């Protein structure tokens, strides 16, 4: 959510900033809503004040044994007027809220302007990509090994699921544990396990609702519950309605969870293999920082995700997402893309974003300013560190040999004692 004061005082400037994303801020509608809100709210609140003082006078008069009927008659008028006002104000406020929740974040000044993924800006590369020639894709490799079974998953559930077997299942577990260990032991994150089902308030807090509900799996239960699309949701919402002490900042959390995505708009995309699944494992990094520290933290957090790729010796590049490709809640996003030889290109494996106070305002995540003693909004950040399923894909493709066997990266040896290669049994 954007700062309502900013919206009120500088609506044109906000509109110009959002236009960089290609978002059309309806200035006329906003100013109309705002004008109606202001007059209706002040009017309603003064009626409430009138009612409150009137009620107090009745109490006082009664205790003195005086006649209260003249005041009561007056209260009758206030009451009926107030009822109408409160109803109108409530309706207006929900309209206003819906409008504000639909506004995306203002992009940071350093974010390149652009319309689509083609306008993203590559800022660095690491490693030497192996040539595409002769490289099999991960699905062919995995199936040939007999360790990756899409048909079985289709029987159990449907398309966009997979069954991993044997050493591949074990490799995924090793990867997860490796990532968690690096982030907790080398990067200072606290490890969490969190619910994989969340309520609507949590999804609103991080920005998945109200606009992107189609991407979520909803549970058929009494409660309004959804499967998490990312650990970002439960982890960041730990901050919801909290006021942290400044000395406890930054908070750095890492959590491994499955992620569930309906992939509503992805029909026909990445239909083969494990790239785009309804369910995948991810290790997620989340930070909450002082506002003035968040960009520093953003670079740091991105580096933490990169560290995993480096240790696994997987070639990758880093992009700054352009205004048009960035998620609505983010002020700035770096994507990490890993080299996939079979596709002869880099594919997203991590997305690291600074949300500034956009999520914090939605979820009232605050800290107490040590000098002013007032509450201020935190800045929140997150990034994949990394998407485990896609990391598995990258290892298969980058560590394959001519015979279709997969070498195990050195750094995973402690997690897979004795296993040097995965090959057909």
User: What span, in angstroms and rounded, lies between the C-alpha atoms of 376 and 246?
Assistant: 10
Six-digit token string for 325: 């490709």
Q: Which is nearer to RNA, 177 or 199 (CB)?
A: 199
348 has catalytic annotation: yes
| Residues of span 246-305 touching RNA by CB under 7 A | none
CA dihedral 333, 100, 109, 383 (to 10 degrees): -20
The one segment of 46-54, 144-152, 269-277, 327-335 that binds RNA by CB under 7 A: 46-54
Give the bridge partners for 412, in sequence order: none
Residue 125 interacting with RNA (CB under 7 A): no
Question: 198 near 230, Cβ under 8 Å?
Answer: no
Q: Which is nearer to RNA, 58 or 154 (CB)?
A: 58
Annotated catalytic residue within 261, 361, 362, 366: 261
130 has catalytic annotation: no
Give the bridge partners for 375, in sequence order: 368
Identified binder of RNA from the candidate list 15, 20, 36, 51, rule CB under 7 A:
51
Q: Which of 22, 10, 4 is nearest to 324 (CA)?
A: 22
The residue to which tokens 């030889």 are assigned = 341
Residue 41 interacting with RNA (CB under 7 A): yes
User: What span, in angstroms and rounded, lies between the C-alpha atoms of 246 and 250?
Assistant: 8
Closest contact distance (angstroms) between CB of 64 and RNA is: 7
170 has catalytic annotation: no
Burial of 331 (0-12, 13-18, 19+ CB in 10 A): buried
Identified binder of RNA from the candidate list 16, 19, 35, 49, rule CB under 7 A:
49
The one segment of 59-67, 166-174, 232-240, 379-387 that binds RNA by CB under 7 A: 59-67
Annotated catalytic residue within 351, 353, 361, 397: 351
| Residues of span 60-119 touching RNA by CB under 7 A | 60, 62-63, 72, 75-76, 78-79
Residue 364 interacting with RNA (CB under 7 A): yes
362 has catalytic annotation: no
Closest contact distance (angstroms) between CB of 379 and RNA is: 15
390 has catalytic annotation: yes
Six-digit token string for 107: 């992009």
Helix or strand holding residue 27 (H, E): helix 27-63
Closest contact distance (angstroms) between CB of 121 and RNA is: 35
Give rounded-to-5 percent helix, strand, coil for the chain. 45, 20, 35
Question: 76 near 55, Cβ under 8 Å?
Answer: no
Active site residues: 261, 276, 348, 351, 390
Binding site for RNA (CB under 7 A): 4-5, 38, 41-42, 45-46, 48-49, 51-56, 58-60, 62-63, 72, 75-76, 78-79, 222-223, 243, 364, 366, 368, 375
């Amino acid at each position: 959510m954007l700062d309502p004061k900013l919206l009120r005082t500088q609506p044109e400037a906000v509109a110009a900033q959002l236009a960089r994303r290609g978002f059309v801020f309806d200035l006329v509608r906003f100013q109309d809503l705002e004008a109606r809100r202001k007059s209706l709210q002040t009017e309603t609140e003064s009626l409430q004040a009138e009612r409150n003082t009137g009620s107090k006078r009745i109490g006082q008069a009664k205790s003195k044994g005086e006649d209260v009927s003249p005041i009561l008659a007056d209260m009758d008028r206030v009451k009926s007027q107030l009822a109408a006002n409160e109803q109108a104000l409530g309706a207006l406020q929900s309209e206003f809220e819906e409008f504000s929740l639909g506004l995306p974040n203002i992009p940071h000044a350093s974010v390149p302007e652009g319309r689509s993924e083609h306008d993203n800006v590559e800022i660095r590369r690491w490693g030497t990509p192996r040539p595409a020639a002769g490289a099999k894709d991960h699905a062919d490799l995995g199936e040939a090994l007999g360790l990756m079974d899409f048909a079985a998953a289709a029987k159990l559930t449907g398309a966009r699921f997979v069954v991993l077997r044997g050493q591949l299942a074990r490799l995924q577990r090793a990867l997860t544990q490796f990532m968690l260990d690096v982030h907790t032991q080398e990067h200072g994150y606290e490890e969490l396990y969190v619910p994989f089902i969340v309520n609507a308030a949590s999804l609103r807090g991080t920005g998945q609702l109200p606009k992107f509900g189609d991407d979520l799996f909803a549970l058929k239960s009494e409660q309004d519950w959804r499967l998490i699309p990312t650990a970002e949701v439960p982890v960041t919402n730990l901050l919801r309605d909290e006021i942290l002490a400044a000395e406890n900042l930054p908070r750095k959390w890492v959590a491994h969870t499955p992620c569930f995505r309906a992939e509503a708009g992805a029909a026909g995309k990445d239909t083969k293999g494990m790239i785009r699944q309804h369910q995948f494992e991810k290790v997620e990094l989340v930070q909450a920082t002082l506002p003035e520290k968040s960009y520093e933290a953003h670079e740091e957090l991105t580096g933490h995700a990169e560290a995993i790729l480096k240790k696994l010796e997987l070639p990758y590049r880093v992009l700054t997402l352009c205004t048009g490709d960035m998620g609505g809640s983010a002020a700035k996003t770096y994507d990490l893309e890993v080299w996939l030889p079979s596709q002869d290109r880099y594919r997203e494996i991590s997305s690291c974003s600074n949300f500034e106070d956009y999520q914090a305002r939605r979820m009232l995540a605050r800290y107490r300013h040590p000098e002013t003693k007032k509450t201020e909004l935190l800045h929140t950040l997150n990034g994949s560190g990394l998407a485990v399923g896609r990391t598995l894909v990258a290892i298969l493709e980058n560590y394959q040999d001519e015979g279709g066997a997969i070498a195990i990266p050195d750094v995973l040896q402690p997690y897979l004692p004795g296993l040097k290669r995965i090959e057909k049994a």
